[in-house]
Every structure is written in C-alpha cells, then in structure tokens.
Structure 1
C-alpha cells in the first residue's frame, strides 16, 4: 500500500480555535484527516504493545505554536513514520494500526455507525445487496457477500472486493482493491459519484487455482461470469474460430468447458488498464498495459505510429516505485491564499533486467499506476507463498483464524520478446503544503542507479539470469 501525507490543512475546532490536520492518502486518495495528537496516541499504543525497539522514530512534541516551516517538517516526518509502520510486516498487519485507520476514515467522512444496505456488483452486471454496518471492514463485508451468495468459507480468500469506475461506454476502470483498513461503505459513500461501484472479482493470478473454484457451483458461476465479461470487453484475445467455439459452449451451458477454453487464450486472467504513456522503448510512446501471468504486457504505439508488443516479467524486475506529484492548476487569481485545485500525476517506474548485467528503468505515466503496482506486488506475494509451500487454502484458514491477510496471485508461460509486432487478429480550509511524493513497495535490495528522492525497494521474486535464459 502507498501511504503519503501530501498536504496539511488548517481547520476550525468546535470552540472556534484552529488546528493543523494531516491528510493521510492511501493509494493516492484521501483516506483520513488526523491531528498530531491522534498519531502520537497511536504511536504510544504501538510502542506499549510491541516495544520501543520495534517502533520507528516519531516526531517530538513542540511547546510553542509551530511555524509554517515546522509544520512542513513535521508533515514529512509523519509521512515517513506512517510508511515505516505500514511496511513493517508486524506493525503494518496489526489490528492496532488497521483499526486506527478505519476509525479515522469514519470520523473524517462523518458517517455514523448504522445499519446500511450496500450494493456489490458481479461481473455479469448483476448486483448483490447486503445488509451491513457502515463501520464494517472489508473482510467482514466480503464474508457477508460470500454468505449471501452461498460461497463456501474456504473459497472466500480466492476473491476480493475492488473499487471500479464505470465509463460512459460501459467499460470498467479498476481503481484499487479494497484493503483491510478500509470501510467499504464509507469508501464508496465518500466519492459522491454514481459511476463508482464495488466489484467482486477473483484475487489470484495462477489459473491452477481455477480448479479449486470450479469445484463449487457458486465459484464456477462467478468465474464463468468473469471470463465471459473479460472476453466481451476485449481483454482476452479471441480469433473467429475460438469465438464460434465459445458461443457454442455458452449456448449449451457448458461453463467448465467454456472456462477451460478461455484458459488457453492469450491474456486470460489479465487486468487491462486505460491507455497511458511510457518512455520505453523511447519517450513519448502511448501504451496499453495489461497485468497478468506474472508480467506487465505492453501494446506500444511508437511516435512513428508503428505498433509493438512486449512483456516484462515480474521475476526480472529488480525493484519498482510509485511517485505522485500534485501540481496546482491555474485559477486565474493572483492571491496565493485563494482556493486551488491540483492535478495529480502518477508514475510507476521499475528497474528491469534487459540482459545479463544490463538493467534499465522503465516508466509508465498513468492514473492507474498505483493499481498496476498493487498487481505487481500481489504477483510477487503469490510467487513467494508458492515458493514456501503455501497456498490460498492455507492462507484462507489463517485468515478465518484471525491471523493473516490472504494472498493475491497466473501461471508462468513464456512471454513474447520485448516489443515484437503484435498479433493482428483483435469548513474553512487553508491548504498549507503540497509536494512530490515517492512511495515504495515492500522488498529487498536498494537501488542507486536512478536519480531523485525517495526509497527504492527490491523484489523478493527477482531472479538474476544470464543471456542464455533471455
């Protein structure tokens, strides 16, 4: 997850006094506003629970009112603190930390705890309405949805809830996967936009796990609906003959056979992103990115209008990062204190092993950069779980015993060479500060080959290979 505190606000208190609020953004979106005293209270609780030697350093109290420069310095230190806590395997997964974020989200949006009805979309366009509390966390809502659908408990971990945006053409844009520190009802309500929905979708990548899901009637129906939907929106590459076979199986109601045929098709199980920009193989290229099969797939339009296709395997990404920059837009006013709006620019950059001893940074500029990086991290998580002998079913048992989050995970097949020609068949608030933020994914091994601030973390699944293996 990508935590940042890109801005602070001066807000009015109940007695007419003012205070500084620190806006905590998660995955590039405002999650909550908190005061310094609230974060200090969290820090003291964590230190008491886990010991002072585990907890990262926290910015000290100040006796006198802070200057603007001191507020900015505290903001930077609090941002580093939140990132350090979240990236710590023990602290970041703790109920203490996650419950703090849930409470803060609810308080920020001023949504009281009450019984509510929440619509959950399925891949076939149908909706399931569940009765929950507005304060129910993501896993609780997922359990209620599973129960409403009659999905067995041991299959719940194979699915996740995603925040998606529906376009005018009916297409879906994946915004993010809802996390354990979120309240889904509060998250969707705070958007005040009917284009956003919560979608139930499988949360693994390796098609081997399809067999577990298809053994159950409800799981089969969910996976079939998703496969049909992905094919209809053009995410899966289908030629005319395959299309006839799929239509025939659909008419017969042969759902398993339909999925088995789908598994043989190119880009089965991928998530496709909106057109964006990349600097590979050269600056100024337009690209459509897909995530699946332990890789990022590129369909690149070069400046000379030529189309190329290639894939970047996650096991050859040494490290990656996401950066967000907030650039105020012109408001036609010369008053620096006037209200301004900001455009957010998001970039995903990864360091890739192009050949033996040759690494190169590749950058994608996209508003879905964070979702792309979440996909990469979930692929790495699944690879590491499998490497250690684990499985989704084992993680599911841990989850229901209250001890762990479930993994996300696609079976490795040989990628097309990098950029070959593709197939042709288919209150009063005063903003005090904004800044460039760099937030890193978990991993090992620092990189020093690229300029600019921010921490760089490596990839647990990175595999050094020679030219003969490329």
Structure 2
C-alpha cells in the first residue's frame, strides 16, 4: 500500500494556539487527518509492543519551525507511515487497527452505528451485510465471504475494491481497499453513486485459480469475474475461442468456461484504461494490461503511430507513483501518474503513464513481485504536490446510507493547505 502526506493544514485550537494537521492519503485517497503530537503518543504506545521492529519516529523541534523544517517533518512522517503500513505484522495488530479506526472515524466525524452495507459481485448483484460504520475491510470481507459460502481459509485470495460503473461509460476498478480501512467511510467520502464496494479475486497469476477449485462457492466468484472480463473485452479470445466461450455461457457450464478462459490472452489480467503517456509521443493514448508477471502496453499516438510494448516484471528496473494536482484544483485521485524504467537492449528507457489507476497499477506490480520472491527490482515511491496551489474543501454530509448525524465536522469546511513559518512543537 502507498501512503503519502501531500499537504498540511494550519489550524488553531480553542485556546488560539496554532498546530499542523497532516492529511494522510492511502492509494491516492484521503485516509485520515492527524496531528504530530497524537502520532508521537501512539508511537510510544506501539513501540512497547513491537520495539525495534518499528522505524524511527521523527524527532520533536522546540524552536520556531521554518518552512524547510516543516517540509522535512512532513517527509519524515510520510516515510514513517509508509514503513509502518508495509509491515503486515504491525498492520494486523489490534493496537494498529484500533488507532487507525479511531483516526478515520474522527476525521470524518462519523458515529459508530449499525448500517446495511452493500458489497457487489462482478455480475452487478449485491449482498447486504449487517455491519457497523467502524468495521474494517478485513471484517467486511470476512462477512461477505461468509454470506457467499466461501470458507475463511480462502479469504487470502480475495479482497475488497472500489469500482466505478458509469451510466453510459466503462467499468473501472479504481482502488484496492486495505484491510485496516473502513469501507463505509471510503465509499461515503467519494460522494458519487457511481462508486461501489466490490469483492474480487486478488492475485495476478491466473494459475492460482487452481487453489480455489475445491470450493463450489469460490468457483462461482471466479466464474462471475471471468464472465465480466470476457463481456467487457478485457480479454482477447480468437474467433474459435469466442464461439466456444459463448456456447459455455449458454449452457452455464462454469468449469468448462473457466478452463477455456485460461487459454485466452489476458485472462486474469487487470486492464488499465483511459491512460495518457509521453511515449512514443506526448499525450499518446495507451491501454495497459497487467498480470501473469508482465506489463502489456498498447500505444496510439495522435500522428497515427501504434506500438505494442510487452515487459516482463523482471525487466523493470524501478517505478515510482506520484500524486500531482494541477494548479487551482483540489487534491484528487485523478491526478496520478506512474513512471517506470526498463532495459531495452543496451539502452535504458523511461515511460510516464497518467491515469487515475496509477496507485492500483503499482499495487498490481508489487503483488506480482510477492508472487515471484526470487526477483525484486528496486521500487521508488515519490509523491509531489504543488503546495502553493493545493486546496481542499471538506464537507460532511448529514445523511448517507441510513446514517444521520447533526454533529458538525471536526475540521473547517474550507481550508487552505500550507507549510508553517513559525510554529513550534509546544503547540503540536
């Protein structure tokens, strides 16, 4: 998972003392807002549990904080949190889960109440779950799989995602939901009915399908996702394969359909659409398929030039993903790009892809690496933001999905993010 703190906000407490509020983004989406002193206190508590397993926490400053020092602290906190969330032992612990649950609930001023949460399947059907607003994605996924009859032992092969289906547009997988995230808050904060929570398989090598063949309920989920990929043309079957697959659909022969799909090009891959690239020309359109240890890119330039680039994961030297809001615009998941370098013959090439799925694409690359432990290329994570122009409007809606609260948001309705010239840790 990718953590960044692209912007900071200066506020005043009830006594008129100024403090800095850090906006923590996960996979390009706002996760929570937190003060330095709160993170410092939590670090002391969690350090008693994990000791030297944790990264070093950024030190306090007792003198006036300049812009340079403030920016240095922001980067240090970003690096600290990135290392924390990259350790599955820490993120699965109760002390971690509980703290970030409270942070998320407090950031959006959300009470803990019972709700009916819809989790969708790839065919558009949904299961309705009796959960709480404070339930983690791990808990919601467990409840969804239980309702679907999938055993807990197979939960590691599935995950929750944020997807979007436009009325007259394409279907898009937007974001992987981390186990410690609160899915209701994630979908609620998007404020758009086109987004939904969906359960999908989460592995990049289609050969892992074999691990699920002993469960008829898991086969049902695999079948629904395979049909979705086939009908949305994410895969590229030959004419003969197309006819055979259509016949299997009419016969509702799930096992035969899945067996045939394994032979189809791009089966089990994630398609990244609506991308713009600087290769082979500036603002070239590109469609990407990622899966089965490779990155397949189809480029179409405005001059009519087309090119197909197919890279094995072992050919990547490194990549980095960035969050880059444009001037006069709010920090948005749409302002993402992924840059990767690779060796082609004797030359080193670099390509930049602009897409709202940049963080998801990076997560897919990391997932492929985890499935290939013998090869781990260098990865960089860089987050860049034009802070002079970055602003964010924060609105809490009083009613959403059966939740009603008259409480005012903890944060200002409108705030300008900036770095602080003269603020010390006495007020942090």
Deviation at 1:99, TM superposition (A): 3.5
Does the C-alpha gap of structure 1 residues 18 and 428 become closer, same or farther in structure 2, counting only changes over 3 Å? Answer: farther
Deviation at residue 145 of structure 1 after TM alignment: 0.5
- CA shift for structure 1 position 67: 5.3
Q: Which residue of 2 aligns with 1:349?
A: 339
Aligned residue for 1:378? 367
Q: Which runs of 5+ in 2 are unaligned?
A: 377-411, 420-428
SS of structure 2 residue aligned to 1:274: strand
- Offset of 1:158 from its aligned partner? 1.5
Instruction: Provide Cα deviations, 1:293-345, integer angstroms capped at 9, x if missing partner.
Output: 2111111103421322221111221221112223332xxxxxxxxxx635663
Aligned to 2:43: 43
Aligned to 2:74, the other structure's residue is in SS state helix
1:202 aligns with 2:201: yes
State how far apart, in whole Å, the 1-side matches of 2:289 and 2:70 are.
41
Task: Return the alpha-carbon distance in structure 1 between the equivalents of residues 73 and 104 of structure 2.
Answer: 21
3-state DSSP class of the match of 1:201?
A: strand
Contact 1:10 1:429 in 2 (8 A): no
Distance in 2, Cα, partners of 1:14 & 1:194: 37
Instruction: After TM superposition, list the pairs within 5 Å mapping 1:36-185 onto structure 2.
Output: 36-51=36-51, 53-63=52-62, 66=65, 70-87=69-86, 91=90, 94-185=93-184
Cα 1:102/1:269, change in 2 over 3 Å: same
Residue equivalent to 1:299: 298
The answer on 1:363 being equivalent to 2:352 is yes
**What residue number does 1:446 align with?**
none
Distance 1:248 1:84, change over 3 A: closer
Report the TM-score when normalising by structure 1: 0.75
Corresponding position of 1:229:
228
Distance (Å, rounded) in 2 between the aligned partners of 1:69 and 1:206: 45
Look up the match of 1:269.
Answer: 268
Please report the TM-score for the alignment, with normalisation by the length of structure 2. Answer: 0.82
**What are the superposed Cα offsets for residues 177-229 of structure 1, whole Å, 9 maximum, x if unpaired?**
11122011121122221111011111122222223323322112111111111
**Higher RCO, Cα 8 Å, sep 6+:** 2
Change (3 A) 1:94 1:350: farther
CA pair 6-161 structure 1, distance change in 2 beyond 3 A: same
- 1:327 is aligned to 326
For the structure 1 residues 141 and 359, does the alpha-carbon distance in structure 2 shift closer, same or farther, using more than 3 Å as the test? same
**Deviation of residue 49 (structure 1)?**
2.3
Task: Report the alpha carbon displacement of residue 85 of structure 1 after superposing the two structures with TM.
Answer: 3.0
Distance 1:248 1:113 in 2: 49
After alignment, is 241-250 or 256-265 more displaced?
Answer: 241-250
Q: Cα RMSD over matched residues?
A: 2.5
Query: 1:102: Cα distance to partner?
Result: 2.5
CA distance in 2, matches of 1:85, 1:101: 12
Measure how far apart 1:176 and its partner are.
1.2
| 1:258 match | 257
Cα displacement (A) at 1:428: 5.3
Q: What are the Cα deviations for residues 94-130 of structure 1, in whole angstroms up to 9, with x where unaligned?
A: 5433432232111111112221111011011101111
Q: Tell me, in whole angstroms, the C-alpha distance in 1 between the residues paired with 2:326 and 2:102.
A: 30
State the SS of the aligned residue for 2:143: helix
State how far apart, in whole Å, the 2-side matches of 1:54 and 1:244 are.
Answer: 55
Q: Corresponding residue for 1:6?
A: 6
Change (3 A) 1:268 1:143: same
Q: Deviations over 1:346-377 (max 9, x none)?
A: 2212221223x543222212221111000100
**Alpha-carbon contact 2:91-2:180 (below 8 Å) kept:** no
Question: Structure 1: 5+ residue runs without aligned partners?
Answer: 330-339, 388-426, 435-470
Deviations 1:367-392 (A, max 9, x none): 211110001001111122999xxxxx
1:429-440 correspondence runs (5 A): 429-433=414-418
Asked whether the equivalents of residues 245 and 260 of structure 2 are also in contact (C-alpha less than 8 Å), the reply is yes
Would you say the 8 A contact 2:158–2:199 is kept in 1? yes
- Structure 2 equivalent of residue 466 of structure 1: none
1:247-295 CA-partner distances (Å, limit 9, x unpaired): 2212222111011111111111111112212233444422111111211
Whole-angstrom CA distance in 2 between matches of 1:214 and 1:199: 21
